[in-house]
Amino acid sequence: MSGLPSPAPPTGPMPEVRLTALEAAVFRALQEDGRTPFTAVAERLGVTEASVRRTVRRLMARDVFTITAVADPRLLGLESMAWLTLWVRPADIDATAAALADFEEVDYVVVATGAAPVMAEVACRDTDACLSLVQRVRALPGVRRTETFPYFAVLHQQFQWTTDDEPRAARAGGGVRSAPAGLDPLDRMLVAELEHDGRASFREIGERLGVSERAISARFAELSERDAVRVIAVGNPHALGFRGLAWIGLTLEDGANLDEVAAALARVPQLSYLVSVSGRFDLMGELVCRDRDHLLATLSERVGRVGGIESVETFYYLRLMYRTSCGAWGAARARPVAAAPHPTPPEVSRVRRMR
């Protein structure tokens, strides 16, 4: 993904942004489709296009959301992803987390509760690159041991959160499916461009990639039709007041059907991410809740009632260190390995190319 310069470790929770009625309406419209013309959003809301444009610019400047492509990471050449947990000496937790956040292969770093207080998601070109990364992580001062959970598949991505139990089917938008077969370099470059700037025109993208605007439009339409990529406004949960965040590891009962369990979990509104993994867990995922009470209710009343789950281990987030305060919740899981650099759009002035 395109990432922002790694911020200094936060000293406290990010202030919650209280959205006005107009801001909330614009955000919701772009969560459905981040490429909706501002003229169409304005007409729907009964305001001027200039008002919509100013609102988007203001909210992006405040890190409330970013407009980006959400896709299966394999679309971008990242064939090997994993969740890492690190056992670290207590005095070295902060320093280790900061050092880990500097690795280019790391999407974001979490300091959480549990015996392994530092965790991170990593995305690499292949298994050899992933192994090399793990060896470098193990060499960090303060790291006692590590545990790696390689991903078999990204089963669910959803970046529209709710504090209630509204059924997923009743909500606009959705996640993305696994990368389809037959992808070529143009598909990967197109998604990389949209991840960098989700509202870039097909004409601009075509000029940068050396193909016609029509070809770019057709490719995007095909990928969208197959649910391989979506361009949406990905919100920053902290800025929006979500404080009960956790990573979960799930062990299934003997004989349980993993696909059926995953499908049931995907209907939990607070589940933003779900992967099948190798290791002592069968599934791992992320919950985004309003606060700790809401998180507990989600675990007991929603996740806990899904059939086929034997146990759930919860890692409550104490601190997040990400390359981007918005993209870490969407685009961070789909960043490009390489893409031709081009000028940064003025609306997202802090974005830079990672590779």
The class level of CATH for 21-62 reads mainly alpha
Give pLDDT tens digits along the chain (355 positions): 333 233 334 444 556 778 899 999 999 999 999 999 999 999 999 999 999 999 999 999 988 888 988 877 777 778 899 999 999 999 999 999 999 999 989 988 999 999 999 999 999 999 999 999 999 999 999 999 999 999 998 888 877 765 555 544 334 344 555 555 556 889 889 988 998 899 999 999 999 999 999 999 999 999 988 878 889 998 888 888 889 999 999 999 999 999 999 999 999 999 989 999 999 999 999 999 999 999 999 999 999 999 999 999 999 999 887 654 333 334 444 333 333 333 332 222 222 222 2
Q: What are phi and psi of 275, to 5 degrees?
A: -135, 150
Alpha-carbon distance values, 187 to 35, 130, 239, 319 (Å) = 18, 24, 32, 35
Nearest CA among 88, 11, 5, 14 for reference residue 245: 14
Q: Domain limits of the chain?
A: 21-62
Class of residue 141 by CB neighbours under 10 A (exposed 0-12, middle 13-18, buried 19+)? exposed
pLDDT tens readout for residues 91-130: 999 999 999 999 989 988 999 999 999 999 999 999 999 9
Q: Residues near 110 by Cβ (< 8 Å), separated by ≥ 6?
A: 118, 119, 120, 247, 315, 317, 319, 320, 321
Residue type at 162 in one-letter notation: T
Token digits of residue 176: 């993305």
Question: What residues pair up with 84 in beta bridges, in sequence order?
Answer: 120, 148
pLDDT tens readout for residues 146-188: 999 999 988 888 777 655 555 443 343 445 555 555 568 898 8
| CB distance 353 to 340 below 8 Å | no
- CA 347-109-332 angle, to 5 degrees, is 40
Instruction: State the pTM of this model.
Output: 0.77
Angle between helices 185-196 and 202-209 (to 10 degrees): 130
Instruction: Supply the DSSP string of 199-254, one letter for each residue.
Output: T--HHHHHHHHTS-HHHHHHHHHHHHHTTSEEEEEEE-TTTTT--EEEEEEEEEPT
Token digits of residue 167: 């059924």
Token digits of residue 319: 């601190």
